């Protein structure tokens, strides 16, 4: 990981078309601006982690759901 020190108003350029600018430093909160083309996805890491966790939970059926489906298949009337 590259670690840089920047002051408000200073920027870092990533590749040819992404610029990250420090806008404000207030206590332990740093506001940054990210200038990137629409084709570059920019997301907050904590939101991606939440989404991935939510997707994993949704993809894993609960024990109750599996038991209910199993019971329904056993008691299904013959066609």
Count the neighbouring beta carbons within 10 Å of the beta carbon of residue 36.
14
Q: Per the domain annotation, does 5 fall within a domain?
A: no
Half-sphere exposure (CA, 13 Å, Cβ side) for 55?
A: 6
Q: Per the domain annotation, does 51 fall within a domain?
A: yes
In DSSP terms, 35 is beta-bridged to: 19
Q: Per the domain annotation, does 55 fall within a domain?
A: yes
Q: Which domain holds residue 58?
A: 11-74
pTM for this entry? 0.62
CA max distance for the chain: 73
pLDDT means over runs of 10, the chain (79 residues)? 95 97 96 97 88 79 76 73
pLDDT at 25: 96
Overall number of domains in the chain = 1
Q: Which residue has the tokens 């040819």?
A: 16
């Amino acid at each position: 990981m590259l670690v840089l020190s920047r002051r408000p108003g200073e920027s870092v350029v990533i590749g040819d078309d992404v610029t990250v600018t420090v806008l404000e430093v207030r206590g332990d909160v740093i506001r940054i601006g990210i200038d990137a083309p629409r084709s570059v996805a920019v997301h907050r890491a904590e939101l991606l982690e939440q989404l991935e966790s939510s997707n994993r939970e949704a993809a894993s059926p609960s024990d109750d759901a599996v038991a209910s489906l199993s019971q329904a298949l056993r008691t299904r009337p013959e066609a």
